[in-house]
A and B are shown apart, each in its own frame.
Chain A
Amino acid sequence: MGYFIGLIVVLTGLWLGLSGLYKTLILSLGVVSIILSTILAYRFDILDREGSPYGRLPQLISYWAWLVVEIFKANWVVVKACLRAQLDINPALVKLKTCCESDLARTVFANSITLTPGTVSVTIEGDKILVHALYEEEAHPEAFEEMDRRSRAASDGGRA
């Protein structure tokens, strides 16, 4: 039931923010569309912990703020690699083992790896992630440990 309420609140906020016209006719159309999309989400059976993860929003937002800083640090390396007169890259495939257990935590972790420039997650099998990195020396498994720990703490809770 909490998932329903979270979805309805988020959809209402999105509709009100994107519309900008607050007349009776348009508002009633908005109510109809919100009800319709909630019914569709129920029929698709996607209303679970992953479909509406709004209960853990504060943790996810603080994780995201940390991630944006990391992304800007990693961007600098790739920008330098793009602009160097002589091409000088050292691509590698690295296999990682994650300690995330739930699917949501694994998704958050793999998405953070992909979002960071310089590393892309290629395949996920069980708890092993295959990562393609632009520089081999920056992609040793210890470099991802903190991100792993933080994404697990953000989406599953428990000890960080």
Chain B
Amino acid sequence: MIGAAALAFVIAIALMLIRALYGPTLYDRVLAVNSLGTKIILLLGVMGFLLGRPDFLDISVLYALINFVATIAILKFFRYRSFQVPLIRKSGDRQ
């Protein structure tokens, strides 16, 4: 049954790739890649249990972190066209 779960995640990843390749706007592609990352995290965990080596979970912890940072970095780049803009708000101006 755990093999079927892994297969379901693989099918979901394959379907999501269609949206990532076909998506009309940039934001659709970023959304598809982000949720592709979430499913890859879950697939890594399931594969770890399927192969009897739960050490794969370390990789999925790392993937969760990198996925988040990558999404924010891509969005920041396409908003400001530069990585040099600080995202921190100055203390004092509470909005």
Contacts and interface: CB of A to CB of B under 8 A. Distances in A.
A–B contact (CB under 8 angstroms): yes
Interface of A: 18, 103, 125-126
A18 B58 contact: yes
Nearest to A124: B95
Contacts of A125: 95
A125 B95 CA distance: 7
A103 B61 contact: no
Nearest to B61: A18
Categorize the interface residue count of chain B: under 10
B79 interface: no
A116 B32 CA distance: 19
Contacts of B94: 103
Contacts of A103: 94
A103 B94 CA distance: 8
5 contacts: A18-B58, A18-B61, A103-B94, A125-B95, A126-B95
A51 B95 CA distance: 18
A109 to B, nearest CB: 15
Contacts of B61: 18
A125 B61 CA distance: 34
